[in-house]
Structure 1
Amino acid sequence: MSGAADLRARLEAEAEAAGFTKLGICRPDAIPQAAERLQAFLDAGRHGQMDWMERRANWRGDPTELWPEARSVIMLAEAYTPVGDPLATLDHPERGNISVYSRGRDYHDLVKKRLKRIGRWLVDAADCEIKVFVDTAPVMEKPLAAAAGLGWQGKHTNLLGRDLGNWVFLGAIFTTAELPVDAPETDHCGSCRACLDICPTNAFPAPFQLDARRCISYLTIEHDGPVDEDLRPLLGNRIYGCDDCLAVCPWNKFAVEAQEAAYWARAELRAPRLDALAALDDAGFRAVFSGSPIKRIGRNRFVRNVAYAIGNSGRPELLPSVEALTEDPDPVVAEAAAWAVARLRGAFA
């Protein structure tokens, strides 16, 4: 075995020991189409309020600009595949549905810790430099992961693999080391439209395209201020994120089980009662969601989502909990609560 091949084999062993499901490697220039596609997405305004995508578009679209010294990009996937039906809570409108990835510990912290462990090993083994990235830097992880052979971007734009499914977190290690690269994966979606057809808000203008402005994950997490009234009923009881397009992918029958217990759903977040969530003040919100990615959006945006869910519930017993929010100090929460009260009262007039 050559020196590079031996290093690669040892690297894969380190990644597996650290808890990653799969590893692939590509060159930083392996996604030449990314910049043009990103610019088209931005020009169409489909990023909504996510202005940070514009500010570092040159780095995001061209990894060679992000760190010119890098010679290889190591992409790693870690499974967080749920146990049971991830959409089961949608049948219980008195409870909130929270996206699977955020029912446990914040993956950013866990994945970055593992990446740093592998990175330290690589620095010692190959006398190189590294930079690690997990979702918060201007790196297009999904195109890089496809170029590195981990899978392909499905019609829902998420990464999926024949041996992974699509319930995966991605991390990247940029390095100055020259490493053997993998062949990119090709599309295996075929004629399937399951992910497109299930979307409650029709957020996919076409296969492989997403308009974030209509995506429930964007609306409940990234969007600041009131949600368009035409879209509110379509949120249902989804109060943080949306898993519909992920959950129906047929490739999930090959999904790898999650090995990290910290990703398993906390009991209180599997199907939380909407009336209990509506009562959270800022201190209560921070206490409940300590160590969770949900904490990032803050109490007001989260309770706004809860108010919309109560308005969609059709449950008159939830009226008192949302009526109390009509006097909330945050005007967006108060308006959402007033909308919910009017919607519930209208349903039983």
Structure 2
Amino acid sequence: MVAEALPPPDDRLEDRLEAVARAHGFAAFGIARADAAPETAERLNQWLAEGRHGDMIWMESRAEQRGSPQGLWPEVRSVIALGMSYAPALDPLALAAHRTRGRISVYAQGGDYHDVVKKALKGVARWLIGEAEDAEVKVFVDTAPVMEKPLSAAAGLGWQGKHTNLVSREHGSWLFLGAIYTTLDLTPSKAGRDTCGSCAACQDACPTDAFPAPYRLDARRCISYLTIEHNGPIPVALRRGIGNRIYGCDDCLAVCPWNKFADTAHRHRAFLPRAELAAPSLGDLLDLDDAAFREVFAGSPIKRIGRGRMVRNAAIAAGNSGDRGFVPVLERLAKDESPMVADAALWALDELAS
């Protein structure tokens, strides 16, 4: 499939590179100079100084490398920014009223994006090395100290919206971002332009008030952070706001008006939702032991949070459901060997009793 889409050799390198990227499944492509987002380090350091990263210690420990591409790799001259679409066919907010079902963020309902995007990045990088033998490259997707969002904005994929995520005119808020660093001097694309205007939909939609101001996120109040990254009891004051969200939150993304232009035809098939992850039963999740958790979430990014965090999240969702049918399983979980599971179950029992 990729070979059939290769461009003629007389096109300029940047055009051929874009054609190859699209043949590998990327819906968005752009190039930025390695020094194109100089404000990144200052904004990152301020965010860290305010403690808004919560338990994400890796953000702090490698801040110097994260602040600029040259901080990670001094030889880099250009950044190839790439986006793979996971635009949902259904409204991500539709499950809000189905309180006995868990809501999983759209990005985690299909295959693990780390594997899919990295494989495609490596394919594009191999082609580039073949075309420019003096080129050196490094590929990154999410797990390295790379600030993909400001770099993608500098490369013209979109802009960082008021919810701090990338927004694309063509793909809305639904892009997995990857980057290829290279020693080549490539012609940069035109940077993205902020088109949020006076819209505050994402700010107004947040159930836990995680935005102290437009373009600023306090991760400690963000449901995605609380249900995925935070390993321990979730602050009691934020539990009711979590509703039936058990892994991540799409609210600030889903309400963005630019999503009406997102074409699901560009969605990578690897991210089509798995039936068991589209609307899982809270009762089934509360019954999970370690072995069952690993089986259900094999091949999913969800597997990395472990059984404890998932059952903790499901217990909070059960407490928010108003359904006393969950009482027996919650009573059992109140004696769970995981303190955070037991704590969440006891809280849920109190909520259902009130």
Instruction: Give me the TM-score of the superposition, normalised by structure 2.
Output: 0.96
1:8 equivalent in structure 2:
14
Which of 298, 323, 332 aligns to 1:315? It is 323
Tell me, in whole angstroms, the C-alpha distance in 1 between the residues paired with 2:13 and 2:86: 28
1:289 equivalent in structure 2:
297
| Contact 2:334–2:345, Cα closer than 8 Å, also in 1 | yes
Matched, 1:225 2:213: no
1:122 equivalent in structure 2:
128
Which of 164, 167, 176 aligns to 1:160? It is 167
1:113 equivalent in structure 2:
119
| Contact 1:282–1:299, Cα closer than 8 Å, also in 2 | yes
1:198 equivalent in structure 2:
205
1:248 equivalent in structure 2:
255
**Counterpart amino acid of 2:124?**
I
**Counterpart amino acid of 1:132?**
V
Matched, 1:267 2:275: yes
Query: What's the offset of the Cα at 1:284?
Result: 0.2
Say which SS state the counterpart of residue 101 (structure 1) adopts.
helix
Equivalences for residues 317-336 of structure 1 within 5 A: 317-336=325-344
Say which SS state the counterpart of residue 294 (structure 2) adopts.
helix
Say which SS state the counterpart of residue 211 (structure 2) adopts.
coil
Deviations 1:260-279 (A, max 9, x none): 22201111111111011000
Deviations 1:204-248 (A, max 9, x none): 000000000000000000011101111011100000000000000
Say which SS state the counterpart of residue 237 (structure 2) adopts.
coil
1:33 equivalent in structure 2:
39
Query: What's the offset of the Cα at 1:345?
Result: 1.3
**Counterpart amino acid of 2:347?**
W
Say which SS state the counterpart of residue 291 (structure 1) adopts.
coil
| Contact 1:18–1:117, Cα closer than 8 Å, also in 2 | yes
Structure 1: state its 5+ residue gaps. Answer: none
Tell me, in whole angstroms, the C-alpha distance in 1 between the residues paired with 2:27 and 2:224: 25
**Counterpart amino acid of 1:150?**
L
**Counterpart amino acid of 2:35?**
D
| Contact 2:334–2:343, Cα closer than 8 Å, also in 1 | yes
**Counterpart amino acid of 2:308?**
N
| Contact 1:4–1:179, Cα closer than 8 Å, also in 2 | no
Quick one: structure 1 residues 62 and 5, their matched pair in 2 at CA, closer, same or farther if it must change by over 3 Å?
farther
Tell me, in whole angstroms, the C-alpha distance in 1 between the residues paired with 2:312 and 2:221: 17
Say which SS state the counterpart of residue 328 (structure 2) adopts.
helix
| Contact 1:236–1:312, Cα closer than 8 Å, also in 2 | yes
Matched, 1:44 2:50: yes
| Contact 2:87–2:171, Cα closer than 8 Å, also in 1 | no
Deviations 1:168-207 (A, max 9, x none): 0000000111111012111100000000001000100000
2:5 equivalent in structure 1:
none
Tell me, in whole angstroms, the C-alpha distance in 2 between the residues paired with 1:247 and 1:38: 25
**Counterpart amino acid of 1:224?**
N
**Counterpart amino acid of 2:108?**
S
**Counterpart amino acid of 2:226?**
L
Structure 2: state its 5+ residue gaps. Answer: 1-8
Say which SS state the counterpart of residue 182 (structure 1) adopts.
coil
**Counterpart amino acid of 1:261?**
R
Tell me, in whole angstroms, the C-alpha distance in 1 between the residues paired with 2:303 and 2:292: 11
Query: What's the offset of the Cα at 1:4?
Result: 10
Query: What's the offset of the Cα at 1:332?
Result: 1.1
Q: Which runs of 4+ in 1 moved over 6 A?
A: none
Which of 77, 89, 104 aligns to 2:95? It is 89
Tell me, in whole angstroms, the C-alpha distance in 2 between the residues paired with 1:281 and 1:261: 30
Query: What's the offset of the Cα at 1:324?
Result: 1.6
1:172 equivalent in structure 2:
179
Query: What's the offset of the Cα at 1:5?
Result: 6.4
Tell me, in whole angstroms, the C-alpha distance in 1 between the residues paired with 2:82 and 2:236: 40
Query: What's the offset of the Cα at 1:256?
Result: 2.8
* Corresponding pairs, count: 344
Tell me, in whole angstroms, the C-alpha distance in 1 between the residues paired with 2:42 and 2:270: 38
Tell me, in whole angstroms, the C-alpha distance in 2 between the residues paired with 1:265 and 1:160: 22
Tell me, in whole angstroms, the C-alpha distance in 1 between the residues paired with 2:123 and 2:290: 35
Query: What's the offset of the Cα at 1:29?
Result: 0.7
| Contact 1:105–1:292, Cα closer than 8 Å, also in 2 | yes
Query: What's the offset of the Cα at 1:162?
Result: 1.2
